Structure 1
Amino acid sequence: MSHAAVQDTPTPVPPPGGPGSLSQRSLPRWAPAGFALLGILVGVGIGTAAGLDSKVQWGLIAVIAFVVISYVVTSTVENQRQARDRLATSVVWVCFVLAVIPLFSLLWTTISRGIEVLDGYFLSHSMAGVPSAEVGGGVYHALIGTLEQVGIATVISAPIGLLTAVYLVEYGKGALARAVTFFVDVMTGIPSIVAGLFILSIMLMTEIKPSGLMGALALAILMIPVVVRSTEEMLKLVPNELREASLALGVPKWRTILKVVLPTAIGGITTGVMLAIARIAGETAPIILLVFGSQLINPNPFQGAQSSLPFYIFEQYKAGEVASIDRAWAAALVLIAFVMILNLVARGIARWKAPKTGR
């Protein structure tokens, strides 16, 4: 065959939608929502036809139908690569929904049960002289106890955690730094009851009476490793170029840390401290051991028994009366609101102190 004949031979063009085409068929953007709706309909239909009473079984059938329908339709319309990608995306969405449902269920139950009792009177009165079976009383004494105990724990643990993180990042080398890091990791996972037992042993040896301060010391033990770990990660994110520029100008290292490193990471450090506060605000075991609880308002955390929101919830629910259980749900709602406010404040500070980026 001549060279001219070879040049005149037309090049085969792949059919539209084939593997070599630039314009392959694709599903519309609303396809995942349609697959989900179809999966729900399949779950309801099979559950009704089979006479299944549990809605959980209906949900599992709908989830399986959603994943199968997504994969089959995508494989048919598009290709196997897109089908596998759709399958992975569907599994991620299913896991997300399965994780969110219990959280929303818990939040909805707490709000619906707690809102019946939560009002101004509940927030401004204590349980002094109110029997557990009677309606009335409030959470004021427990709220005061929580604010004081968490505040003392923060004053103790925040400086210790901050300075420990600065040592590990800026100075720590060798066996001592490795030992400190190891013990910080161990302390992060210790149960709260262990911290309470540690402070209780000290109280028994020194004959110290229960008080809010003892509970705050146990909470500080739980808070320190969280502050250390979060602060350490924030300090590692500070660019070394900033440190080198400051040291090149003859600034001492301690002043570089104080004037350059810490202000750069202050947003993340504050966020970590706020999240650590939110973590210890719901601890109950150390308070039961060390604070003992009280029905009266005790504004002095250094003397006498105190209460706290977690202890109040435990105490009221343990009573078993209708009125006390309602108060327990209302106190749980107050505690959730307290933790939520702390998280919102932490996010606001992080966004406020975040480095400004420009184009």
Structure 2
Amino acid sequence: MGARETSARVDAPCSGAGWRRDSASDARRRIADRIATGFCYVTTALVLLMLTSILYVLLRNGLAGISWRTFTHVTLAPGHGGGLANAIAGSLIQTGLAVLIGAPAGLLAGIYLAEFSATDGRLLGAVRFVSDLLLSAPSILVGLFIYMIIVVPSGHFSGIAGALALAMLVVPVVVRTTEDMLRLVPVAMREAAFALGAPRWRVILFICLRAARDGVATGILLALARVSGETAPLLFTSLGNMNWSVRPDAPMASLPIAIYQYAGSAYPDWTQMAWTGALLITTGILMINIAVRVGLGRNRK
């Protein structure tokens, strides 16, 4: 009896000390949680503030230059009220050609990485390495590469050279998204098709790609959004053109090059066109991103 009372008296202070230690630990965790949560709120607010500031400055300075002449007139000499029609058309042509060239190549490479990964491990590793390298490579290096293999041998800048440079930036984005989307297709769908006697190419084309089509289309839109504002590759390939030119074998204007050339100008009307061009590019990329979000939402459903 006495031994049990002694044990209870000895255990009581220990349990009280343990309770105090647990309370102190909980208090420290609550403080750390509040600090981390507050830090997240502050950083989120800073990011939103920066984004809002950029949009505000673009709208304030760019809207003044939006007019019918912006879309119907080419760039003229300072003080003559020109527009950005040649730059808009050049951007549409070059980005369109880039997607037409780069998207099929990226799609085929993504299909190979996702569907034929068990055939040749060395080739698979090489394809993935090159894709990751292109995804992380500075765009100016891509422009220099196309400059050396296309512009220098041909002796002149051209819109097709700019499109090829942009296409090299499209490929890795499409490769990565295509591979990821195809890997999300359930294996049971492939096995069911194989059990019915379907050949591999039919399974890939009519089962896997059909199931992943929204995600693949989203990847192509992401690639389009990436190359829409690229300037460095075009400086070494298409160069720019103040006249109306839709010939792929001639120097071609583009909105990023126009912004680069006019932003540092001493002429107010050219500076205004630079702000207007920046607003047009931002609006286009924003619309593409909205379409991507809608596509991702449909894909999740």
Q: Secondary structure of the residue that 2:236 maps to in structure 1?
A: helix
- Following superposition, the deviation at residue 277 of structure 1 comes to 0.5
> Which structure: greater helix fraction?
2
Kindly state the Cα deviation for residue 137 of structure 1 after the two structures are TM-superposed. Answer: 1.0
Contact 2:151 2:157 in 1 (8 A): no
Residues 4-39 of structure 1: CA distance to partner in whole angstroms, max 9, x if unpaired?
xxxxxxxxxxxxxxx9xxxxxxxxxxxxxxxxxxxx
Give, as a single letter, the amino acid of the residue that structure 2 aligns with 1:99: V
The aligned runs of 1:204-243 (5 Å cut-off) are 204=151, 206-243=153-190
Matched, 1:98 2:46: yes
Partner of 2:109: 164
Q: Contact (CA 8 Å) 2:225, 2:289: kept in 1 or not?
A: yes
How do 1:61-140 and structure 2 match up within 5 A?
A: 79-127=27-75, 130-132=76-78, 134=79, 136-140=81-85
Q: Name the CA distance, whole Å, in 2 between partners of 1:182 and 1:277.
A: 22
Partner of 2:227: 280
Shift of 1:80: 4.7
Q: Distance in 2 between matches of 1:355 and 1:92?
A: 27
Unaligned runs of 5+ in 1: 2-18, 20-74
| Identical positions, percent | 37
In structure 1, C-alpha distance between the alignment counterparts of 2:251 and 2:126, rounded to whole Å = 37
| SS of equivalent to 2:230 | coil
Change (3 A) 1:260 1:208: farther
Normalised to the residue count of structure 1, the TM-score between the two structures is 0.73
Q: Distance in 1 between matches of 2:49 and 2:224?
A: 26
| CA shift for structure 1 position 205 | 5.0
Task: State the 1:97 CA deviation.
Answer: 1.4
**TM-score, structure 2 as length reference:** 0.87
**Shift of the alpha carbon at 1:355?**
5.5
Aligned to 1:306: 252
SS in structure 2 of the partner of residue 116 of structure 1: helix
Shift of 1:345: 2.0
Is the contact made by 2:151 and 2:237 (CA closer than 8 Å) also made in structure 1? no
| Counterpart residue number, 1:51 | none
Pair member with larger Rg? 1
Higher relative contact order (CA 8 A, sep 6+): 2
CA displacement at 1:153 relative to structure 2: 0.4
Task: State the match for 2:211 in structure 1.
Answer: 264
Instruction: Provide the residue aligned with 1:332 in structure 2.
Output: 278
Find 1:195's aligned residue among 125, 142, 146.
Answer: 142
Measured after TM superposition, the shift of residue 146 of structure 1 is 0.4
